[in-house]
Amino acid sequence: MSQLLNQNEIDALLAAVEKSNLGASESAKKGDASGFEDKNIRLYDITKPDIALKGRMPLLNMICERFCKQFRNSLSDLLQMMCDVSMVDTAGMRFGELLNALALPACITLLTMPPLEGGGLLLFDTQFVFVLVDILCGGTGKSKYKVEGREFTPIELKLARRVVERATYDLKEVWKPVYPVDFGITRMEINPQLVSTVSPEETIMAVEFKLDVEGTSGMMTLVIPYFSLEPIRGILEKGYLHEARQTGDQWKSFIEDEVLRSKSELKAILGHTVLSIHDILDLSVDDVIQLDTWADGLIPFFIGGRPKFYVKPGKSGSYRAVRLEQRVLEH
Protein backbone atom coordinates (compact mmCIF):
# COMPACT_ATOMS: atom_id res chain seq x y z
CA MET A 1 0.00 0.00 0.00
CA SER A 2 1.22 3.49 -0.83
CA GLN A 3 -0.42 5.03 2.24
CA LEU A 4 -0.51 3.82 5.84
CA LEU A 5 -3.31 4.50 8.35
CA ASN A 6 -2.36 6.53 11.38
CA GLN A 7 -3.52 5.62 14.90
CA ASN A 8 -6.55 7.93 14.82
CA GLU A 9 -7.77 6.42 11.58
CA ILE A 10 -7.29 2.88 12.94
CA ASP A 11 -9.29 3.74 16.09
CA ALA A 12 -12.09 5.25 13.99
CA LEU A 13 -12.23 2.12 11.79
CA LEU A 14 -12.42 -0.25 14.77
CA ALA A 15 -15.18 1.84 16.34
CA ALA A 16 -17.20 1.73 13.12
CA VAL A 17 -16.86 -2.07 12.87
CA GLU A 18 -17.90 -2.54 16.51
CA LYS A 19 -20.94 -0.29 16.06
CA SER A 20 -21.95 -2.20 12.92
CA ASN A 21 -21.75 -5.57 14.73
CA LEU A 22 -23.81 -4.34 17.67
CA GLY A 23 -26.48 -3.00 15.31
CA ALA A 24 -26.71 -6.29 13.46
CA SER A 25 -26.94 -8.23 16.74
CA GLU A 26 -29.77 -6.07 18.08
CA SER A 27 -31.58 -6.29 14.77
CA ALA A 28 -31.39 -10.07 14.82
CA LYS A 29 -32.71 -10.21 18.40
CA LYS A 30 -35.68 -7.98 17.57
CA GLY A 31 -36.53 -9.96 14.45
CA ASP A 32 -36.80 -6.89 12.20
CA ALA A 33 -36.56 -6.91 8.39
CA SER A 34 -32.86 -7.74 8.47
CA GLY A 35 -33.16 -10.35 11.23
CA PHE A 36 -33.18 -14.15 11.04
CA GLU A 37 -36.84 -14.59 11.97
CA ASP A 38 -38.41 -12.84 9.02
CA LYS A 39 -35.98 -14.40 6.58
CA ASN A 40 -36.68 -17.94 7.96
CA ILE A 41 -32.99 -18.55 8.50
CA ARG A 42 -32.37 -21.70 10.54
CA LEU A 43 -29.27 -21.97 12.71
CA TYR A 44 -27.07 -24.97 11.89
CA ASP A 45 -24.52 -26.49 14.22
CA ILE A 46 -21.79 -28.10 12.10
CA THR A 47 -20.68 -30.20 15.07
CA LYS A 48 -23.96 -32.14 15.03
CA PRO A 49 -25.14 -34.15 12.02
CA ASP A 50 -28.52 -33.26 10.61
CA ILE A 51 -29.07 -35.97 8.06
CA ALA A 52 -32.55 -36.23 6.58
CA LEU A 53 -32.16 -39.93 5.88
CA LYS A 54 -35.87 -40.47 5.51
CA GLY A 55 -36.16 -37.86 2.80
CA ARG A 56 -32.92 -38.63 0.98
CA MET A 57 -33.35 -42.41 1.00
CA PRO A 58 -37.09 -43.04 0.66
CA LEU A 59 -36.57 -46.69 -0.28
CA LEU A 60 -34.88 -47.23 3.08
CA ASN A 61 -38.06 -46.04 4.75
CA MET A 62 -40.07 -48.55 2.69
CA ILE A 63 -37.70 -51.36 3.71
CA CYS A 64 -38.24 -50.47 7.38
CA GLU A 65 -42.02 -50.47 6.92
CA ARG A 66 -41.85 -53.94 5.36
CA PHE A 67 -39.69 -55.10 8.26
CA CYS A 68 -42.39 -53.92 10.70
CA LYS A 69 -44.98 -56.15 9.00
CA GLN A 70 -42.71 -59.19 8.82
CA PHE A 71 -41.25 -58.90 12.33
CA ARG A 72 -44.77 -58.38 13.74
CA ASN A 73 -45.71 -61.87 12.52
CA SER A 74 -42.43 -63.42 13.67
CA LEU A 75 -42.67 -61.92 17.15
CA SER A 76 -46.32 -62.97 17.52
CA ASP A 77 -45.39 -66.52 16.51
CA LEU A 78 -42.44 -66.64 18.94
CA LEU A 79 -44.27 -65.22 21.95
CA GLN A 80 -47.66 -66.78 21.11
CA MET A 81 -49.25 -63.38 21.76
CA MET A 82 -50.63 -60.58 19.63
CA CYS A 83 -47.73 -58.20 18.89
CA ASP A 84 -47.43 -54.97 16.96
CA VAL A 85 -44.31 -53.37 15.47
CA SER A 86 -44.25 -49.82 14.12
CA MET A 87 -41.49 -47.48 12.96
CA VAL A 88 -41.17 -44.36 15.10
CA ASP A 89 -38.33 -42.32 13.61
CA THR A 90 -35.20 -42.38 11.45
CA ALA A 91 -32.43 -39.99 12.49
CA GLY A 92 -28.73 -39.34 12.04
CA MET A 93 -26.42 -38.74 14.99
CA ARG A 94 -22.91 -39.27 16.29
CA PHE A 95 -22.15 -42.80 17.44
CA GLY A 96 -20.74 -41.46 20.69
CA GLU A 97 -23.99 -39.61 21.47
CA LEU A 98 -25.94 -42.85 21.06
CA LEU A 99 -23.69 -44.81 23.42
CA ASN A 100 -23.71 -42.05 26.05
CA ALA A 101 -27.52 -42.14 26.11
CA LEU A 102 -27.61 -45.86 26.98
CA ALA A 103 -28.05 -46.91 30.60
CA LEU A 104 -26.62 -49.96 32.32
CA PRO A 105 -27.41 -52.74 31.85
CA ALA A 106 -28.02 -52.38 28.10
CA CYS A 107 -29.04 -55.09 25.65
CA ILE A 108 -26.77 -54.48 22.66
CA THR A 109 -26.35 -56.93 19.79
CA LEU A 110 -23.42 -56.40 17.42
CA LEU A 111 -24.31 -57.26 13.82
CA THR A 112 -22.36 -58.09 10.70
CA MET A 113 -23.76 -56.82 7.39
CA PRO A 114 -21.81 -58.32 4.47
CA PRO A 115 -21.30 -57.23 1.75
CA LEU A 116 -21.74 -53.78 3.38
CA GLU A 117 -18.72 -52.47 5.28
CA GLY A 118 -18.77 -51.92 9.01
CA GLY A 119 -21.02 -53.41 11.63
CA GLY A 120 -24.48 -52.54 12.88
CA LEU A 121 -26.22 -52.70 16.24
CA LEU A 122 -29.62 -53.83 17.46
CA LEU A 123 -30.69 -52.27 20.77
CA PHE A 124 -33.57 -53.23 23.05
CA ASP A 125 -35.04 -51.37 26.02
CA THR A 126 -33.70 -53.04 29.16
CA GLN A 127 -37.13 -53.09 30.82
CA PHE A 128 -38.69 -54.62 27.71
CA VAL A 129 -36.05 -57.38 27.61
CA PHE A 130 -37.27 -58.59 31.00
CA VAL A 131 -40.83 -58.52 29.65
CA LEU A 132 -39.79 -60.73 26.71
CA VAL A 133 -37.92 -63.11 29.02
CA ASP A 134 -40.96 -63.37 31.31
CA ILE A 135 -43.26 -64.21 28.38
CA LEU A 136 -40.84 -66.78 26.92
CA CYS A 137 -40.73 -68.45 30.36
CA GLY A 138 -44.52 -68.71 30.49
CA GLY A 139 -45.41 -65.46 32.23
CA THR A 140 -47.74 -62.67 31.17
CA GLY A 141 -45.15 -59.90 30.87
CA LYS A 142 -47.27 -57.53 32.95
CA SER A 143 -44.98 -57.36 35.99
CA LYS A 144 -42.63 -54.46 36.68
CA TYR A 145 -38.95 -55.21 36.96
CA LYS A 146 -36.17 -53.36 38.72
CA VAL A 147 -33.25 -53.13 36.31
CA GLU A 148 -30.91 -50.74 38.12
CA GLY A 149 -27.91 -52.34 39.76
CA ARG A 150 -28.17 -55.76 38.15
CA GLU A 151 -26.98 -57.49 35.00
CA PHE A 152 -28.57 -59.95 32.60
CA THR A 153 -28.01 -63.59 33.45
CA PRO A 154 -26.73 -66.00 30.75
CA ILE A 155 -30.22 -67.53 30.53
CA GLU A 156 -31.85 -64.12 30.05
CA LEU A 157 -29.36 -63.23 27.31
CA LYS A 158 -29.96 -66.56 25.61
CA LEU A 159 -33.72 -65.97 25.57
CA ALA A 160 -33.24 -62.42 24.32
CA ARG A 161 -31.03 -63.79 21.54
CA ARG A 162 -33.99 -65.80 20.23
CA VAL A 163 -35.83 -62.54 19.60
CA VAL A 164 -32.74 -61.00 18.00
CA GLU A 165 -32.34 -64.01 15.68
CA ARG A 166 -35.91 -63.56 14.44
CA ALA A 167 -35.24 -59.86 13.83
CA THR A 168 -32.01 -60.45 11.88
CA TYR A 169 -33.69 -63.12 9.74
CA ASP A 170 -36.52 -60.73 8.88
CA LEU A 171 -34.03 -57.95 8.12
CA LYS A 172 -32.31 -60.21 5.57
CA GLU A 173 -35.64 -61.09 3.95
CA VAL A 174 -36.87 -57.50 3.55
CA TRP A 175 -33.52 -56.32 2.17
CA LYS A 176 -33.30 -59.09 -0.48
CA PRO A 177 -35.46 -57.43 -3.15
CA VAL A 178 -33.44 -54.20 -2.90
CA TYR A 179 -29.90 -55.32 -2.04
CA PRO A 180 -28.93 -58.65 -0.42
CA VAL A 181 -27.49 -57.89 3.02
CA ASP A 182 -26.59 -60.93 5.14
CA PHE A 183 -27.30 -59.69 8.67
CA GLY A 184 -25.60 -61.86 11.26
CA ILE A 185 -25.01 -61.81 15.02
CA THR A 186 -21.46 -61.27 16.30
CA ARG A 187 -22.10 -61.11 20.05
CA MET A 188 -24.28 -59.49 22.70
CA GLU A 189 -23.03 -56.85 25.16
CA ILE A 190 -24.50 -55.20 28.26
CA ASN A 191 -21.86 -52.45 28.64
CA PRO A 192 -21.90 -49.68 25.99
CA GLN A 193 -18.24 -48.93 26.71
CA LEU A 194 -17.28 -52.31 25.25
CA VAL A 195 -18.95 -51.52 21.91
CA SER A 196 -16.52 -50.00 19.43
CA THR A 197 -17.82 -50.93 15.99
CA VAL A 198 -17.07 -47.42 14.68
CA SER A 199 -15.47 -44.22 15.93
CA PRO A 200 -17.50 -42.15 18.44
CA GLU A 201 -17.37 -39.25 15.95
CA GLU A 202 -18.75 -41.37 13.10
CA THR A 203 -22.23 -40.56 11.81
CA ILE A 204 -24.73 -43.38 12.18
CA MET A 205 -28.32 -43.94 11.13
CA ALA A 206 -30.68 -44.95 13.95
CA VAL A 207 -34.11 -46.39 13.15
CA GLU A 208 -36.42 -46.63 16.16
CA PHE A 209 -39.19 -49.23 16.31
CA LYS A 210 -41.95 -49.49 18.89
CA LEU A 211 -42.78 -53.03 20.00
CA ASP A 212 -46.12 -53.69 21.66
CA VAL A 213 -47.05 -57.02 23.26
CA GLU A 214 -50.69 -56.95 24.35
CA GLY A 215 -50.43 -53.48 25.89
CA THR A 216 -46.84 -53.67 27.11
CA SER A 217 -44.54 -51.64 24.89
CA GLY A 218 -40.81 -51.05 24.48
CA MET A 219 -38.33 -49.68 21.96
CA MET A 220 -35.96 -51.44 19.57
CA THR A 221 -33.32 -49.47 17.62
CA LEU A 222 -31.47 -50.56 14.50
CA VAL A 223 -28.13 -48.76 14.07
CA ILE A 224 -26.23 -48.70 10.76
CA PRO A 225 -23.12 -46.57 10.09
CA TYR A 226 -23.77 -43.96 7.45
CA PHE A 227 -20.64 -44.95 5.52
CA SER A 228 -22.05 -48.49 5.18
CA LEU A 229 -24.97 -47.13 3.15
CA GLU A 230 -22.87 -44.90 0.89
CA PRO A 231 -22.09 -47.63 -1.72
CA ILE A 232 -25.81 -48.33 -2.23
CA ARG A 233 -27.08 -44.82 -1.70
CA GLY A 234 -27.84 -44.54 -5.41
CA ILE A 235 -30.14 -47.58 -5.15
CA LEU A 236 -31.91 -46.25 -2.08
CA GLU A 237 -32.44 -42.85 -3.71
CA LYS A 238 -33.32 -44.11 -7.18
CA GLY A 239 -36.03 -46.46 -5.94
CA TYR A 240 -38.40 -43.62 -5.05
CA LEU A 241 -37.97 -41.77 -8.36
CA HIS A 242 -38.34 -44.94 -10.38
CA GLU A 243 -41.50 -45.86 -8.55
CA ALA A 244 -43.05 -42.43 -9.12
CA ARG A 245 -42.19 -42.20 -12.84
CA GLN A 246 -42.66 -45.78 -13.89
CA THR A 247 -46.13 -46.22 -12.34
CA GLY A 248 -45.19 -48.95 -9.88
CA ASP A 249 -42.78 -51.03 -12.03
CA GLN A 250 -40.31 -51.18 -9.15
CA TRP A 251 -42.86 -52.59 -6.73
CA LYS A 252 -44.21 -54.90 -9.42
CA SER A 253 -40.79 -56.51 -9.63
CA PHE A 254 -40.54 -56.76 -5.82
CA ILE A 255 -43.98 -58.36 -5.50
CA GLU A 256 -43.25 -60.81 -8.32
CA ASP A 257 -40.03 -61.93 -6.62
CA GLU A 258 -41.83 -62.38 -3.28
CA VAL A 259 -44.64 -64.41 -4.90
CA LEU A 260 -42.18 -66.69 -6.70
CA ARG A 261 -40.37 -67.36 -3.41
CA SER A 262 -43.55 -68.05 -1.44
CA LYS A 263 -44.40 -71.61 -0.44
CA SER A 264 -47.64 -73.50 -0.99
CA GLU A 265 -48.81 -76.88 0.30
CA LEU A 266 -49.23 -79.65 -2.29
CA LYS A 267 -51.47 -82.58 -1.40
CA ALA A 268 -52.60 -85.70 -3.26
CA ILE A 269 -55.73 -87.40 -1.88
CA LEU A 270 -55.60 -91.17 -2.45
CA GLY A 271 -59.26 -91.62 -1.63
CA HIS A 272 -61.96 -91.53 1.02
CA THR A 273 -64.03 -94.03 2.95
CA VAL A 274 -66.53 -94.07 5.81
CA LEU A 275 -66.15 -96.38 8.80
CA SER A 276 -68.17 -96.77 11.96
CA ILE A 277 -66.56 -96.20 15.33
CA HIS A 278 -66.92 -99.94 15.99
CA ASP A 279 -64.94 -100.75 12.82
CA ILE A 280 -62.26 -98.19 13.66
CA LEU A 281 -61.77 -99.69 17.14
CA ASP A 282 -61.34 -103.13 15.56
CA LEU A 283 -58.56 -101.98 13.20
CA SER A 284 -55.17 -103.64 13.61
CA VAL A 285 -51.85 -103.84 11.77
CA ASP A 286 -52.03 -105.32 8.21
CA ASP A 287 -55.78 -104.62 7.87
CA VAL A 288 -56.78 -103.34 4.41
CA ILE A 289 -59.12 -100.37 4.11
CA GLN A 290 -60.94 -100.06 0.79
CA LEU A 291 -61.17 -96.53 -0.62
CA ASP A 292 -63.60 -95.04 -3.13
CA THR A 293 -60.98 -94.85 -5.94
CA TRP A 294 -59.66 -97.47 -8.36
CA ALA A 295 -56.09 -98.70 -7.90
CA ASP A 296 -55.12 -97.57 -11.42
CA GLY A 297 -57.40 -94.51 -11.51
CA LEU A 298 -56.60 -90.82 -11.24
CA ILE A 299 -56.71 -88.98 -7.94
CA PRO A 300 -57.13 -85.21 -7.28
CA PHE A 301 -54.04 -83.10 -6.60
CA PHE A 302 -54.54 -80.01 -4.40
CA ILE A 303 -52.42 -76.83 -4.46
CA GLY A 304 -53.07 -74.41 -1.63
CA GLY A 305 -56.23 -76.32 -0.70
CA ARG A 306 -57.78 -76.20 -4.20
CA PRO A 307 -57.85 -79.07 -6.75
CA LYS A 308 -55.69 -78.18 -9.77
CA PHE A 309 -54.69 -81.50 -11.41
CA TYR A 310 -55.60 -85.17 -11.69
CA VAL A 311 -52.55 -87.33 -11.02
CA LYS A 312 -51.50 -90.98 -11.01
CA PRO A 313 -49.63 -92.24 -7.92
CA GLY A 314 -46.40 -94.18 -8.29
CA LYS A 315 -42.70 -94.21 -7.38
CA SER A 316 -39.68 -92.16 -8.46
CA GLY A 317 -36.56 -93.99 -7.37
CA SER A 318 -37.02 -94.79 -3.68
CA TYR A 319 -39.64 -92.03 -3.18
CA ARG A 320 -43.41 -92.02 -3.49
CA ALA A 321 -44.45 -89.70 -6.31
CA VAL A 322 -47.34 -88.60 -8.49
CA ARG A 323 -47.44 -87.88 -12.22
CA LEU A 324 -49.56 -85.02 -13.54
CA GLU A 325 -52.09 -86.32 -16.06
CA GLN A 326 -54.62 -83.55 -16.68
CA ARG A 327 -55.80 -80.20 -15.34
CA VAL A 328 -58.97 -79.75 -13.34
CA LEU A 329 -61.39 -77.66 -15.37
CA GLU A 330 -62.43 -74.63 -13.33
CA HIS A 331 -66.00 -73.45 -13.73
Using one digit for the tens of pLDDT, what is the confidence trace for 22-62?
555 555 455 444 444 555 666 655 555 555 444 467 788 88
Q: Name the region of 320 (left: φ>0; alpha: ψ -120 to 50; beta: rest).
A: beta
> What is the Rg, in whole angstroms, of the alpha carbon atoms belonging to the chain?
32
For CATH 3.40.1550.10, the residue range(s) in the chain are: 53-260
Share above pLDDT 70 across residues of the chain, in percent, rounded to a whole number: 80
Give 302's contacts (C-beta < 8 A, 6+ positions apart): 265, 266, 267, 268, 269, 308
Q: 35 or 103: whose pLDDT is higher? A: 103
Q: Which residues pair with 327 in a beta bridge?
A: 309
| Neighbour-count burial for 6-21, b at 16+ CB within 10 Å, e otherwise | eeeeeeeeeeeeeeee
What is the pLDDT of the chain when averaged over all its residues?
Answer: 81
Which pTM does this prediction carry?
Answer: 0.58
Three-class secondary structure of residue 122 per DSSP: strand
Instruction: Label the pairing between strands 107-112 and 216-225.
Output: unpaired
CB 322 within 8 A of CB 312: yes
Share above pLDDT 90 across residues of the chain, in percent, rounded to a whole number: 28
Give 59's contacts (C-beta < 8 A, 6+ positions apart): 178, 235, 236, 237, 238, 239, 240
Three-class secondary structure of residue 110 per DSSP: strand
Q: pLDDT tens for residues 272-311?
A: 899 999 999 999 998 999 888 888 889 999 988 888 999 9
Mean pLDDT, range 194-210, rounded to an integer? 88
pLDDT at 243 over 80: no
Q: Where are the alpha helices (DSSP H) in the chain?
A: 7-30, 53-56, 58-79, 95-100, 126-136, 154-175, 226-229, 233-245, 249-261, 277-281
**What pLDDT band is residue 141 in, cutting at 50, 70 and 90?**
confident
| pLDDT for the residue 198 | 84
What is the CB neighbour count within 10 angstroms for residue 149? 7
Helix (H), strand (E), coil (C) string for 268-319: ECCCCCCCCHHHHHCCCCCCCCCCCCCCCCCEEEEECCEEEEEEEEEEECCE
Note the CATH number of domain 266-327.
Answer: 2.30.330.10
| pLDDT for the residue 210 | 93
| pLDDT for the residue 259 | 83
Identify the architecture of domain 53-260 in CATH: 3-Layer(aba) Sandwich (3.40)
pLDDT at 209 over 90: yes
Mean pLDDT, range 251-279, rounded to an integer? 85
Angle, CA 65 vertex, CA 105 and CA 99 arms, to 5° = 25
> What is the widest separation between alpha-carbon atoms in the chain?
125
**What pLDDT band is residue 248 in, cutting at 50, 70 and 90?**
low
**What pLDDT band is residue 172 in, cutting at 50, 70 and 90?**
very high
Q: pLDDT tens for residues 64-77?
A: 999 999 999 999 99
- Compute the distance between CA of residue 27 and CA of residue 37 in angstroms, rounded to an integer: 10
